Amino acid sequence: MATRTKQAEKRASLKLFDQALDYGVLARLTGFALRRASVIDFARFSEAIGDATITPLRFSLLELVGQNPGFQQVQLADALGLSRSAATVTIDYWEQRGSLERRPDPNDRRSYGIYLTREGETQLKRLEQLVIEHDRWLTRKLEPAERATLGELLEKICAR
Amino acid sequence: MATRTKQAEKRASLKLFDQALDYGVLARLTGFALRRASVIDFARFSEAIGDATITPLRFSLLELVGQNPGFQQVQLADALGLSRSAATVTIDYWEQRGSLERRPDPNDRRSYGIYLTREGETQLKRLEQLVIEHDRWLTRKLEPAERATLGELLEKICAR
DNA sequence: TATTGTTATACTCTATAACTATA
DNA sequence: TATAGTTATAGAGTATAACAATA
């Protein structure tokens, strides 16, 4: 039992990337650096939120619904680069928690508009604060100007 | 049949992120931008390599072995933030392809040193070229100086 | 007792395909 | 015929736990 705990403990400390090793071309790859940073972000996200089931993707969807009430599932899926089935599952998650609801679209009976519930609005406001705090933690080593620059450069990468 | 093809086709085009939607606080989050860029990188990586089974992680491990021949699995796992079992599986993948081999460690009979085979050396050189090309594609919208800046900023995020 | 590596197992995430009900 | 959403299913990927061999 002690052994298992130790193994889990060791992994939990997440001391990525060993100084003793030569990373070769990896050290020159933007893609590798992006992945590293993303892993760090992801690893602390749920912890910062205080709920292991709330992932970055799930938060993103809730935020998107909050900002764009009434949009179709298909639009939300596209906006996040998800399949329709993945969007269904993610929406199910929040609906089961009472944070959002599907309302039949009066103009197209195949589809629903997705809306926050009253509970969802409260929840989202709470999460926004925690996520913003977490993001500040993630970028705590950067000056405000550097953070802005990073945002612009990443934006350029994503622009088509 | 036509329907299915269309669905897959649509997703393959990966037109992430809809201009019509308001991304709210997501637009201000470094973590969200990192994830977006990573998704773009990952989505094109295997395609650029021309082999759907070679993922960024698998390439990273091979590169690490190439630069650090003879290291233990546990060291490679730590260097990539993997569990021991995940490292085992990843090494199995390359070993089955004849690209690397486990050699018994003469000093510690519990462990192996991991080495490239002759085939692995050739393979790695080939992959390095393709990966570097892919990374250039990923950052094609950035000036050389911007690319360098991005690297430094990401480095700061990852530094402890 | 602790560590290296393997295996068994389970869980998360996401995709494609098939299905339904509409359009 | 095409589309919105659901469900069934499968495949990556990765983790923990248990185990064997060795330290």
Q: How many A×B Cβ pairs under 8 Å?
A: 195
CB contact (8 A) between residue A24 and residue B66: yes
Residue nearest to nucleotide D8 (CA to C1'): A85
Which residues of chain A (6-35) touch nucleic strand D at CB < 7 A?
A: 7-8, 11-12
Q: Which residue of A has its CA nearest to B129?
A: A25
- The amino acid at residue B29 is L
Digit-coded pLDDT (tens) for A66-97: 999 999 999 999 999 999 999 999 999 999 99
Average pLDDT over residues B54-64: 97
Confidence category of residue B5, pLDDT binned at 50, 70, 90: very low
Which tokens sit at B117? Answer: 């085979």
Model pLDDT, residue A3: 36
Determine the pLDDT at residue A131: 98
Q: How far is the CA of A146 from the C1' of D9 (A)?
A: 46
| Chain B contact set for A25 (CB, 8 A) | 63, 128, 131-132
Q: Give the pLDDT confidence score for residue A9 in this predicted structure.
A: 53
**Considering only residues 108 to 137 of chain A, which have any Cβ-Cβ distance to chain B shorter than 8 Å?**
128, 131-132, 134-135
The confidence score (pLDDT) of residue A7 equals: 54
| Distance from residue B57's CA to nucleotide C12's C1', rounded to whole Å | 18
- Which residues on adjacent β-strands are paired with residue A115? A101
Residue B4 has pLDDT above 50, yes or no: no
pLDDT of B3 reads 36
pLDDT greater than 90 at residue A42: yes
Instruction: Please provide the average confidence, as pLDDT, over all residues in chain A.
Output: 91
Interchain pair A75, B21: CB under 8 A: yes
- Tell me which residue of A60, A148, A141, A51 sits closest to B35, measured CA to CA: A60
**Using an 8 Å Cβ cutoff, are A67 and B23 in contact?**
yes
The dihedral through the CA atoms of B113, B118, B121, B123 has a sign that is: negative
Instruction: Note the CA–C1' distance, A10 to C21, in angstroms.
Output: 52
Residue A112, strand partner residues: A104
pLDDT at residue B1 is higher than 50: no
* Minimum-distance CB partner of B33 among A20, A39, A155: A155
Whether A67 contacts A120, CB under 8 Å: no
Are the CB atoms for A25 and B128 separated by under 8 Å? yes
At residue A106, the 3 state secondary structure works out as coil
B4 touches strand C (CB under 7 A): yes
Whether the per-residue pLDDT at B13 is higher than 90: the answer is no
Closest residue in chain B to residue A40, using alpha carbons only: B158
Residue with the two structure tokens 């486990």: B102
* pLDDT exceeds 90 at position B18: no
Select from B31, B12, B11 the least CA-distant residue to A60: B31
Percentage of residues of chain A with pLDDT beyond 90: 85
Asked if A66 and B2 touch (Cβ cutoff 8 Å), the reply is: no
Query: Under an 8 A CB cutoff, do A158 and B24 touch?
Result: no
With beta carbons under 8 A apart, name residues in chain A contacting B32.
56, 60
Q: Where are the alpha helices (DSSP H) in chain A?
A: 2-12, 30-49, 56-67, 73-80, 84-96, 118-138, 144-158
- Report chain B's terminal Cα–Cα distance, integer Å: 52
Section A27-38 average pLDDT: 96
Q: Closest residue of B to A11, CA-based?
A: B83
Identity of residue B138: L
Q: Tens digit of pLDDT for each residue in B93-141?
A: 999 999 999 999 999 999 999 999 999 999 999 999 999 999 999 999 9
Higher-pLDDT residue of A9, B134 = B134
Choose among A78, A79, A139: nearest Cβ to B30: A139
Residues contacting residue A43 through CB under 8 Å, at least 6 positions apart: A14
